[in-house]
Amino acid sequence: MQRVFKLMIFFLITCSFWQTAPAFAALPPIYTTDQLVPGMHGVARTVIKGNKIVDFGVEIIGVADNGKGAPKQILARAYGPIVDDTNGVIHGMSGSPVYVDGHLIGAVARGVGRDTTPYIFYITPIEPMIELWELPDPLADMPRPKGIEIGKPNDEKAKKKQEEDIDERIKKIKQDYEDTLPPDEKIAQEVPSVRRMKKPQKIEKMPTVNQDEQSVPAVFKNRMDSAAAPALSYASPVPILASGFDAASLSFLKKNLAPLGFSPYGAAAGGAIDDGICLLGNTGLQPGSSVGVALTYGDFYLGAVGTVTAIDGDKVVAFGHPFTYRGNVNYFMTKADVIGSVKGLLNGEKVASFGPIIGRINQDRYTGVTGIIGQFPQTVPMKITVDDENKNVSDIYGVNIAYDEEMLPKLAVSLGYGALSRTIDRLGSGTATASFTIMSNAVPSGKIERTNMFYDNGDVGQFAVSELGQVLSLITSDMKRQCNVTGIKLHLDYTPQRRTASIISVFPDKRTLKPGQTVNLKIVLRPYRKPDQQILIPFVIPQNQPEGDMTLEVRGGGLIPLSQLASSMPSVDMSPEEDKSVTTADKIHDFLQTDKNNVIIVSPAASAVESDRQQRQAIDDALKLQDELEKEGKMGKRHLQEVKSVTDYVIDNIMRVHLKIKK
């Protein structure tokens, strides 16, 4: 008998490995809201622990009509041992399919309110949910990597390994099968019909539902409790589960995502990455299974875990309410395992982990999210290396970011900051050198590189990642075309030491010069708590320099020249309006030419303005110059002669030296 069982299992495993057209679930028969009456009983399917689907009882209380253009909501009551154990409908149950007489009626979606019993909840009807499958999906045409079909050996080595694993797989399958058998009954794998459970008192007539408790899409302002994330309110930021972030980086993430209407909350939701493989074969997904929706995937997770409502072929609909409410989207769809659940007085929450990527989420609408099994989303792989000189450690983090132009810059800088914060494990005062490479078709070379040095006595990490965000913003805001970002590499070198230096003196080797001559400037630097250092910088007097006094400005690259800070011109805005003809490549080139913080710059300075007459004359001259440059199309491109010298310190001040020019 055991041999027969072993051969049967071997046959099943072999078939599952070699199948070329995996069987997908089909949509079951449905009941519309018009077919529901108060007092009907059914079941909802969900996962409480692991990936085992269990049922709890549902009684229909009534159907609320939210008005023209707004989906109806089904008011229901949960009952049975499952919800008794969880203390009602909890976060993570959203999307759980609800069946009456074997017909799918909708998905567990929202609690009624904070002060009501957690056993009363709303169901999103199935009709508007499956309509999401028919919506346009222009993001499907974006270039993306192909998924990898697993479970299908393509060489002799793989076949041999498959045979070697047979006994081990048999043991696991037998154990998994035994785990699915509760003491009192076998969990049904087919669409369930009504179970015989203890029923609450039957309601004889349709109740009146308070519209103030409903969520009306047209208004989109009333507070609701989502069964996917704590305290979801469409009047307040949308909560997003954040895993891998410590307290400091979570706070930074919240600040970055607040303008987009998101409020990340910390949770342990990491899982086995499994090399990010996209499972094109049998995913094991079925109505009632847990499913993850992720914006980032890898060493840092941002997303939510809910429940699958229905599957039709390779199409999935879940959640019963929006995740980010951004319409046509491009997110990761993952498997998810429920570690367990915690319950409170009026609510609870599933503790879940993201599993392997199984597809792409393509719609995020009011009635739910939809995905396509086996379709991989467009992603931006990001590698972050953090070297901590103090701890003498080097950590490498890997994460995939689902491509969204509006979110990419904010997500990338948040991930960079999160990696730094995790490695240094302290408040980030100190010095950091940030080097990044962005692979993108926004520039002809396909690669954008930048290195800069930063110091801050509070939190240097926020400054260290800022330039990465600026360049990504330039790429993603291109008005003429969509520029792809195909990869990001970020290297952060951190030390808690203060590596700054002040210029304490500048000595020219001569004070009187002619145009074209060279003056050698001996610059004395005083590094923080280190001996003074000397740097020699030669500067050539411009050939067109007029006779008379000349002032040279010696400053750190991160400081604005004194001429731009002069109080004599407080009301003059010399910055031109954005030139729409300037290409993104030009903008990036100009940004990369901006001065770095650890560079000493020597350049001619504007003469000091002392009297009211000089002030008025300076303003008139500035406006005249601006008009001339605008007419010539050179506004914003005028550069004075400069000489630069790289140092090992962030230069924190400015000095001037005065010369005499004679013909």
End-to-end C-alpha distance for the chain, whole angstroms: 109
Residue 157: predicted pLDDT: 54
How much of the chain, in percent, has pLDDT values that exceed 90? 54
434, β-bridge pairs: 452, 492
Q: What angle do CA 113, 116, 118 make, to 5 degrees?
A: 90
338, β-bridge pairs: 50, 352
pLDDT band at 471 (very low <50, low <70, confident <90, very high): very high
Residue 633: predicted pLDDT: 52
Kindly tell me if the per-residue pLDDT of 77 is higher than 90: yes
Give the phi and the psi of residue 272 in degrees, each rounded to 5. -70, 120
The sign of the CA dihedral 624, 628, 634, 640 is negative
Give the phi and the psi of residue 370 in degrees, each rounded to 5. -125, 155
Tokens, residue 216: 């009306």
**How far is Cα 535 from Cα 23, in angstroms, rounded to an integer?**
73
Tokens, residue 455: 């110091």
Average pLDDT over residues 342-351: 66
Residue 654: predicted pLDDT: 93
Tokens, residue 413: 């800088």
Looking at every residue in the chain, the average pLDDT score rounds to 78
Residue 261: predicted pLDDT: 84
Residue 268: predicted pLDDT: 64
Q: Do the Cβ atoms of 129 and 241 come closer than 8 Å?
A: no
Q: Do the Cβ atoms of 34 and 125 come closer than 8 Å?
A: no
Residue 418: predicted pLDDT: 97
**How far is Cα 575 from Cα 637, in angstroms, rounded to an integer?**
11
Residue 317: predicted pLDDT: 98
- Which of 136-150, 195-209, 258-272, 493-507 shows the lowest mean pLDDT across its residues? 195-209
Tokens, residue 644: 């630069």
Q: Do the Cβ atoms of 545 and 661 come closer than 8 Å?
A: yes
pLDDT band at 112 (very low <50, low <70, confident <90, very high): confident
Per-residue pLDDT tens for 178-203?
Answer: 444 344 433 333 333 333 333 333 33
Q: At what angle do helices 466-476 and 584-592 cross, to 10 degrees?
A: 160
Residue 113: predicted pLDDT: 63
SS3 label, residue 515: coil
**How far is Cα 520 from Cα 35, in angstroms, rounded to an integer?**
91
Q: Do the Cβ atoms of 378 and 143 come closer than 8 Å?
A: yes
Kindly tell me if the per-residue pLDDT of 207 is higher than 60: no
CA dihedral 656, 658, 662, 663 (to 10 degrees): 0
Average pLDDT over residues 105-128: 85
**How far is Cα 383 from Cα 446, in angstroms, rounded to an integer?**
17
Residue 228: predicted pLDDT: 41
pLDDT band at 70 (very low <50, low <70, confident <90, very high): confident
Kindly tell me if the per-residue pLDDT of 346 is higher than 80: no
Per-residue pLDDT tens for 417-454?
Answer: 999 999 999 887 899 999 999 999 999 999 999 999 99
Average pLDDT over residues 374-392: 93
Q: What angle do CA 639, 467, 573 make, to 5 degrees?
A: 45
Whose CA is closest to 278, among 378, 142, 345?
A: 378
Tokens, residue 330: 């491009």
**How far is Cα 403 from Cα 549, in angstroms, rounded to an integer?**
56
Look at the block and give the residue holding tokens 């700054």. Answer: 500
Q: Order the strands of the 533-540 sheet from edge to edge.
A: 533-540, 518-527, 500-508, 650-651
540, 559, 657 from 521: Cα distances, Å: 11, 20, 9
Kindly tell me if the per-residue pLDDT of 214 is higher than 50: no
Kindly tell me if the per-residue pLDDT of 100 is higher than 90: yes
- 649, amino acid identity: Y
Residue 617: predicted pLDDT: 65
Q: Do the Cβ atoms of 518 and 540 come closer than 8 Å?
A: yes
Average pLDDT over residues 106-134: 87
**How far is Cα 279 from Cα 291, in angstroms, rounded to an integer?**
14
Average pLDDT over residues 465-480: 95
Average pLDDT over residues 598-607: 87
Per-residue pLDDT tens for 540-586?
Answer: 999 888 899 999 999 999 886 655 544 433 333 334 445 567 899 99
pLDDT band at 59 (very low <50, low <70, confident <90, very high): very high
Q: Do the Cβ atoms of 141 and 370 come closer than 8 Å?
A: no
171-200: string of b/e by CB count within 10 Å (b at 16+)? eeeeeeeeeeeeeeeeeeeebbeeeebeee
**How far is Cα 117 from Cα 128, in angstroms, rounded to an integer?**
27
Residue 181: predicted pLDDT: 39
- DSSP codes, 595-634: PPTTEEEEEE-PPPP-SHHHHHHHHHHHHHHHHHHHHTT-
Pairing of strands 485-495, 512-513: unpaired
